[in-house]
A and B are shown apart, each in its own frame.
Chain A
Amino acid sequence: MQTDIIIAGFGGQGVLFAGQLLAYAGLGEGKEVTWIPSYGPEMRGGTANCTVIIADEEIGSPMVRNPQAVIAMNRPSLDKYEPLMRPGGLLVVNASMVDRKVKRTDLRVVEVPANEIAESLGDKRMTNMVLLGSLIANLPIIQLTSIETALKEHLPERHHRLLPQNYQALAKGAELLAA
């Protein structure tokens, strides 16, 4: 059993950290995990993405052409990954940053106004947590509590006062289920 997830967006949206949390959570549950970023001559505001694979056996290819699940944090990411997704896959879209509807009808889609939700909770930088919460609620391979544990263990100590807000962001996202 293997689940592959791509998280994509602009640099600065917390794409890579959200992926790492997923990997830490998988590790915490005793699973095999691989996290691999796109890397290149990157710049702020450019595109960023990472692939996370969670499995119960030795992981082969660290990259996937046709992912089972995608978080698209902006329009270019949606345009890039929607056509590539495996039929029946889970597509979590940051509706705040995307000005079109999902075209494919063979996917499970969740449209999350993640920027607005994060702002209403006090900080737009938690957009990635809202989307991650929604992903986990719709893709029951990892417990939400494992994400919370990973966040607590890997957020620098000086930011720990922000933990309750981040838990709230995860929970808000988790309320949004695919149609």
Chain B
Amino acid sequence: MARELWKGNEAIAEAAVRAGCQAYFGYPITPQTELLEYMSRRMPELGRAFVQAESELGAVNMVYGAACTGVRVMSSSSSPGVSLMMEGISYIAGTEVPAVLVDVMRGGPGLGNIAPAQADYNQIVHGGGHGDYYPIVLAPASVQEAVDLTVLAFDLAEKYRSVTVVLLDGSLGQMMEPAEMPPMQPLKKEFPAWATRGAENRERRMLSSIYLNPPDQEVTNLRLLRRWKEVEANEVRFKTYYLEDAEYVVMGFGSAGRVALSAVRAARAEGIKVGLLRPITVSPFPVQAVDAAVRQCKAGLVVEMNAGQMLEDVLRVNNNRIPFEFFARMGGIVPFPDEILAEIRRLAQGKASLEGHPRDRWLERVAAQA
């Protein structure tokens, strides 16, 4: 396949089709709507299921039902719509069926706005639904990566009977970049032993998230946890840039990570030995890669388009070994590279601190500028 120019939202939709997605259920919301719109045309064209549900609640429960049949199924939404899906996500996780969800994040909380943001990190990564469950969360930073990770999301969801979320922000959904599409996979013809597809000539199967007897629920939760340990051991993904000889490290996921890349290049041009660590799986979090960067570097900077949600995961790994600083834009504003470059210069000037919390120091800097 040749590289073609794709809009992020549409690229994800086509990648899902090629990954063998047999059913899509969704409800329109900006800045994700092109994904649903593309599916509304493409899925019926291939004789596959597309339903625009009456709401996000309807959509996620249709996903739940389809997932129980063992087919590849997905939904997509944006922040407020994803909030509405959380009950269903927890049920899907508790039933141990595979499903893919795409969250094209926008400014919030509340109705917020339709501009790009990364403020669903905590909700998605640390579980917005109730109970002990662990979603796999993939955070692309380019249209090509969004394509590749969408395909991977289906594979991982199936392999670990897990909810897998592709987490991106509105700018990536709206931008166009070259991408090479994967080959078209055939639809699944064989289904796992748990799938409920009609019980003619065999014993009845039962899928549920109800374990009224607490010891049965505990056994289930232990199974989920052990499965998660496998995910942690095998599925961590990240990308590093200019990190080999770096004395300072910048960390950011998705769009914040790629904006930071421009800042890191500019800092390198000034002679500052700085590198970038961009988590691709934000869940499982790349703990060992963060740890290695902490061992190597004098100071670090976390950049996000939220109030420092991934920051807490980084600080947990750092455990107060090296000073970290924090920089963010919020509410639908994407940082420019020069803002991050100014923060990198501060690191290089030895201004990073181990006193107090990086978020508090950032807030003080913001207040001083106002």
Contacts and interface: CB of A to CB of B under 8 A. Distances in A.
Nearest to A36: B175
Interface in B107-153: 114-115, 142
A33 B351 CA distance: 36
B105 to A, nearest CB: 14
A60 B175 CA distance: 13
Contact of B261 (A33, A39, A60): A60
Contacts of B178: 27, 32-33
Contacts of B142: 58-59
Given A39-B31, A61-B262, A62-B175, 14 more contacts: A20-B5, A27-B178, A33-B177, A34-B175, A36-B171, A36-B174, A36-B175, A36-B176, A40-B115, A59-B258, A60-B258, A60-B262, A61-B261, A61-B263
A59 B261 CA distance: 8
A61 B5 contact: no
Given A24-B5, A34-B176, A60 B171 contact: no
Interface string A50-81: 00000000111111110000000000000000
A11 interface: no
Contacts of B182: none
B290 interface: no
B3 interface: yes
B338 interface: yes
A93 interface: no
8 contacts: A20-B5, A23-B5, A23-B176, A33-B177, A36-B171, A62-B175, A62-B258, A65-B337
A37 B31 CA distance: 12
Interface in A5-23: 20, 23
A27 B179 CA distance: 10
Contacts of B260: 60
Interface of B: 3-5, 31, 114-115, 142, 170-171, 174-178, 255, 258-265, 334, 336-338
Nearest to B260: A60
Nearest to A16: B176
A35 interface: yes
B175 A35 contact: yes
A20 to B, nearest CB: 7
Contacts of A64: 336
A62 B176 CA distance: 10
B338 A34 contact: no
A41 interface: yes
